[in-house]
Structure 1
Amino acid sequence: MISETNREIESPANAKRFGGDIFYVLESEIQIGDVDAYGYVLFNKKREGLETNSFYNRSIDIECAIDGKEFRNPVDQFKRTAGNFERYFEYTLEGKTIHLSLYRERDEVEKKFDDLKNELEVMPLRVQKVETLQGLLFIFFISLILRAILLRRAREAKLLDKSSIEEILMELSKLRAVKVGGKWRLTEVSKKTEDDSGEDGN
């Protein structure tokens, strides 16, 4: 029910006031076993903000406590420090130093995947075969993987301090490759595109 009502629940028509707070309320029919029933989905933006704030405060505390630091047993230290937040982080080890992959990177990909899912809601009306839809899903999935790789490399190169990921993609889209003498070569690269691709040109 939550998934089905996610896009429409914040409509002004669904706003109700209770105890001075605004709740968005949607009623929906639902079948529980053989019983037809009615369910209600409630959404409160104030509570969402508080929970989001609490979540990121805790995740940043974890990052500050262990990211880039050396421990005698880094894996055990990560598990103790992260606790039930462990599933929101990925980490790599460099000797006994632990490096966290930020949850925010994963969150960025999940948001983009949500965008794709919303766009795909009309896709079955435009394709004639299940195989075609599966192909589209596969292409979207690969694009998300590539975006995640680019996002990570852009962050490591500190490119996100001066450009958004969308601006970087726009510049990279200007690149063209031609085959000369059996080898692929890039055409002339603009100064901004060269800067966005990193000082070493990679």
Structure 2
Amino acid sequence: MNRSASIRRLGLICAFTTASATAAFSHPHVFAEARLEIMIGDRGSVSELRHVWRFDELFSSTVLLDFDTNANLKLEPEELAEVGRIVHDSLADFNFFTSIIQNGRDISVVVPDGINVDYQDGQLLMFFAVQAEDGMSLDGNMSFGVYDPTMYTAIDFINDSDMVVAGNTNGCKQTVVRPDVDEILAQNQESLTEAFFNDPAGNDFSKFFATRLELKC
């Protein structure tokens, strides 16, 4: 299998069209358990968001087969670095699967220096941290989540404790929100038409299904 085919197999970094995203909505192909740490700095602002993703064994084995260039059934440091480099370059188009909303405004993240990758007990792990563009003070209503806008990868926070705030929030109230999928679909069924999903401008509907941590300050 050539490298371009290998990259296509690495599902979370594929750039899908809107039509592909629609098909993937019912059937995610890649599954990951996640942890998110929202770090608060000494000056009462969000200093960075720390991500940990642990991927399912099937997908992880696929990555092993595709990137184990010396065929020793291990991912050596240089092979792990190659996976991290490809994912880093590709996720830049998707804001690194990071959703930050402050007072109704979407906030982009600064491109991180890199993504660290490891392979433990048959599962692929990724670790990286991102910062909000132009900084982010603790002010108003804030929401932090992780999701794949193509709906190809299902990123799940198994426990509420997998989304944490570290540092002094100065009394901000924090809540983990797990949206009800059936309720969201029922509320938006009139707008979820074929034209909606075939809009050439794209529609980022998947963010409404993402588990998120909300801060109200």
Q: Which has the higher contact order (CA 8 A, sep 6+)?
A: 2
Identify, as 1 or 2, the structure richer in strand: 2
TM-score greater than 0.5 by the shorter chain: no
TM-score normalised to structure 2 length: 0.24
TM-score normalised to structure 1 length: 0.25
Identify, as 1 or 2, the structure richer in helix: 1
